Structure 1
Amino acid sequence: MTDYNLAGLSTRSFEQLIQAIALKVVSSGVVVFGDGPDGGREATFNGLTHYPSEGNPWNGYIVIQAKFRQKPQNPQEDGEWALKQLKSELKDFANPIKGRRLPDYYIFATNVVLTPVQDKGSKDKAYDIFEEFKDSVPLKGYDIWDYDKIRGFLDNFEDIRRAYGFITPGDVLAKISDFIEPRKDLFADKYTNPEDIEVLVQKVRSHFHKTIQNECENLCTFNLLYYHMPGNLSQIYVQTTLNESQPFSSEEFSPERKLWEEVVVKNPKLMVLGKPGAGKTTLLQYIAVHCDDINFKPQPIPVFISLKTLAENAKSADEISLISYIRKKYCRRHVSEQELKILLDNGRLLFLLDGLDEVIEEKIKAVVREIHQLVDEYGDNRFILSCRKEYQAYKSRLFGNFNLCKVAEFEQLQIDNFIKNWFAGSNDGTQLSKEILANNLTHKLKLEENKRIRELADTPLLLHLICLIFIERGDLPTKKVKIFKKGIDILLEKWNQFNDRAYLDVYELKKTLRKIAAITFEQGISSFEEDEIFPLIKTNICRLSDIEFVSGILRKKNWQTYSFSHQIFQEYLAAEELVYSELIYSNLFTHITDKRWREVFLLAFSLIQQADEYLWIMKEKIDLLLNPEKELYIFLNWVYEKSLNITLNSVKARLFYISLYVDFFIDTDINKLSEFEIEE
């Protein structure tokens, strides 16, 4: 048999190779590889086959699992690795909690050599493992496709062999020769040693730098006072502290605060969690801009990617590709595909992937799978993801090799520094007057009468809006929703103050923004073209392009596309629209099981003066989905009754019970409610 360099494949291409063989020898109806419930990759078929022979065919549910070892060592170590993979998969099938469908037949495919020495070889040990699980995973038949068996398939199937020509020495030489001949000058003595790699890193970093600066240096959510403030990240940024997750737990975080740099440097794969406005995006932007100053070894090249934008730019989930997005956004004509591949292979990129929670439901699985494939194929690079803590996508097993941390709430010193930087960044007034304003706000926040608003000032976004309101009105709001309401009202008034074209009615302008927010949030998008959105909102207001509406609420992404600068602005304005237009009945309650609507729910209930009627309607909607005899129904009914019988601090307490009611229901799998018991 011919020798084939299977180790030269990637994980993905090996899976595709096994799939191609399965389509030939098992059935043309084999379903392509996909992410299983536990992150495993498998191909499946259900029905009559012509395998292993026409006289003795398999007939039933078949699972073909591919396990690729990127750097085979020696037969003994490779065999032990393969046996461990096989045993782990069978354990998963045997575990009833996993809920995986048991196969009738099973094929284990791997690129490593399994030795056939009787009783001692890894192949016999693999058969022993099948016997070990015969009671918990009762298979009618099984087979092992190791390196030797795959070689036999490739010898027989010329079309597959040619399709995967890079594993046959003759074809690979011919293809390389054909490819290099017209490009001799490009490949002459380039990137053959570490020094050459460093030269490439510096070259690519310089080309990426402009894109990073444009994307990350200006904080659009801080650039709200037009001539007042440049919105420069480096000028206003306050050092973030992080709480690391406790060992063996994704729910509990250490009370110890650590500077972000310490956590980021020691964790090559990190998930940054936090509540809305906590500063997750700002942290990733700061890392992108100041990457050269961080003690990474070796120094990586940062690429900042908004996952929401990545998903929105793809017409379908199948088109989502991080590498293609990087080529288009960062490389352009300056960095070749070959150079990018060299950097990826050498682990010299830092992927800053922002806003996992902002990806719409229809595309989240594709985005998670794409990140997992990127980490799987180029695991030597660094990865930092951000996600709201309330969003559950980060708990996927596909992120099992990511360490978790949480953005810590601002402490008093951070609040003081933020206020100082904020007013110092303003170009309005003398240095002395700016210091006086900063000191006055700092003093007022510490007064007992402002305790509630001080408790809200624990995130950069809310603290920023507090500064904005204070510099304009000289007072402090008392509730979170009032911060958003007053802040947005000030922004719109400011637009009129500095607009020299036409005066616009602030009320009408805000109505327009509310409609845009509600429509786009319902559609699961943050970006839109005005030609698409204006026919839907049916307004007489001037077009966005005419008034050059680029503020802290909306920002212009290109010559005709706009977006909300922060998801919390979109959520708040959408909540206002649902409440004030009384669409809360028809729109809000239809999304009661959608986790993406959680913040809109809570903001809407905060805006409603008398929430009892809406809470009752919400309860009726939920009751239709529950079995009254089950304990979940009893529990939620208790929560509802508690919310109606609050006598002290009623608004705050009632909102607590409403949020408990919503959270408990949203985090429950609606398809399993009829089987739910509290003791589980």
Structure 2
Amino acid sequence: MAKRSLQVSQEGIKEAKKAFTRAGLTQKQLGERVGCTRQTIGKFFQGKSVDSYIFREICFQLELDWEKIAAPEPAENNLSPSTDIDALVQDIREKLRPTIQQRCSTIRVLDMTQPIGLTDIYTNVNILEQITGCRPLTIAELMQVFDPDSGNFDRFGLSRITRKRVPGLEAVKFYPKLMVLGKPGSGKTTFLKYLAIQCCYGNFLNHLVPIFITLRDFAEAKNHSVNIELIDQMLLNSGITDIQLTELLKHGKTLILLDGLDEVREEDASRVIKQIQEFSDRYQSNRFVITCRIAAQEYTFEKFTEVEVADFNHNQIKAFATKWFQVKENRSSIILSAEEEIQANTAARFIQQLQSNPSIKELATNPLLLTLLCLEFEDAGDFPADRAELYKRGITTLLRKWDAKRGIERDRVYKKLSVQRKEDLLSQIALTTFERKDYFFKQQAAESYIGNFIRNLSDAQTDSEILHLDSSALLKSLEAQHGILVERARGIYSFSHLTFHEYFTARKIVSSSEPQALEKALQNLVSHITDKYWQEVFLLAVGMLQPADYLLQLMKKQVDLLVAGDESLHQFLMWVRDKSLSVKVPYKPAAVRAFYFNLAYDRHPQRDSVGYRDPELIRTLDRRLFTLVILGNIRALEVGLDDILALLCDRTFKLDLNNYPYASTYAFKGAFFLACDRALYLEPKLGQALQELKNLLPDPDADKWKFKQWWEANSQAWIEQLISAIIKYRNIGHNWQFSKQQKKLLQAYYNANKLLVECLNTDCYVSRDVRQEIEDNLLLPIAEIERQKG
């Protein structure tokens, strides 16, 4: 093992004293710059041995070449001029592998009970070459890909990046000095560890030696220095000499990986930044990669290219989840073929559940939150029914747990702003902006919201200028430390996920401690029951309330009032009620009403349409009926006959013998003949009437031209007889003749009922009586509800 100390030669002492005089420093001042005591400086000038990293740093501060003034080391430590540098790289990489393996080969985050192999779980990272927050975009331009008024708006449009993504490994190859920025939990450290492992094993930049440094550990270590000793401690037990390391650096043969600049304490930050700058300047032919949280980076390294870690896309989410559950299965047992299938099914179910829950999938774009979702999914094979609790865990992870798990204490801009207070602040911002549809808001507005909040804290500054500075600093702190607010473009902010925006909005609504304030907040909420972009807020709010009875009752009342003043819609709902009561089926009455609500329509352009067939309300009310409807297994039931008759009406009016003679005839014939058969069994009188109508039709298979001629001459009268018979014997097929406004209102009413039932089906706490009352009165006209109560 090479010695770890150096001393000045006799000639070197003279040069050192001259340089010291030119510098105009005292020994104490020089010691402060170097990071050592005055006594150590004295030993240096006396020619006594000092630690090698202190020796080199003193020389750097005095602008001396340390190799020229150092006393010669023993011959066995000197490299031969004929040393093969490439062979040296291979030798040192091999010696470093145990250290790199020990430091970088595993990850363990959040509530994982044991570490996971990094290469087993690693998913390739993509890089954005333009920092998101530096884009010169306006709010109007950002909103072009985000339409919250649409029924199925793209939640990912809030943060969509349309620019080209570059694979992370390609960016490291292309840029010799790279500053990798990213939101909390975006995978920066994992990326750096992966670089170290791949380089060390010769799979990436195999002409270099990787050096992985956690900047927080370096900053807090004693006797820290900018020189080679920045990496000396890592090599201490690897059998690598200072001379060998120096040769590597001189020849540009190292890949220096500096992780977590944002994790360095405020009192150490200036020194560490200075040391990194000096070190990278001195050994500029080497490759450097530094990671830092995106909003925490205030200092610009002149020769470094800044890039940003991109959010995960669908393929990355799928790849990560597949690897995650495969690793878990491999650990649980020796996988047999059947167990491999189970593992694959687990990953497939996870992806399927994400696809059906856009608000949850939105969180999965962040690798840390994706890990949280995988952990949540492991035990139950599903996501928690209480979405509010799931989102709360994600927010807690970003606000507190992520740093706490790694032992990081960050500087708090506002000393009394606890996690609870931060949540209160974010809730206030969320509700204010959500009500205005301000999904993106300017920095000045965000700072104003923050200022209005913190001015009421006990230690708040009253001076407006100081308050503004505090607000600005706190905004940056919320972005850098937690990543819940992010800068989408230059000077324009939003919540990092629409899900978080909705969560904090719901939290603000339900957190009022005064009964009157809570009642007012809930009444304001239910006024948005037909606004599609408020649906998730409703679902979260009922989960947060204990109990949710009052909110659900307010919602039911608001739903009923939507159509209360329209007599035509009242008559339609009465028909839905009467029709559902006329059939005898073993399903929930509300589900049967939903079935007939959907059935009472015709999509032919010459007829009025009530709405569209949407089985979701049936599904949320009664899965048995929903399953039968979807699978088409209700043909023997009365509702099955009615379904066929409605289909017949639809195909009859769409019969297009000019453009699609074969397809149209086939569809019409199939529906009509099936209706005849079922009606003879379930409704004999209707069956007889349909049979008589059937006898009037020429056989379309025997002579299609004759059938077409007959249809053109007789179809109008024939259809009128068909509809008349269906109405008479089954009470369906009515032409309701709703106006466009009525149809729009009826669709809003139906969607609001769906939302109400979805809220009931969450993991909310609601009394049995209230739940039953709502289900019993679902899709009933308000006059009928009041009559039953009377």
**TM-score w.r.t. length of structure 2:** 0.43
Larger RCO, structure (CA 8 Å, separation 6 or more): 2
Structure with the larger helix share: 2
**Structure having the higher Rg:** 2
**TM-score w.r.t. length of structure 1:** 0.49
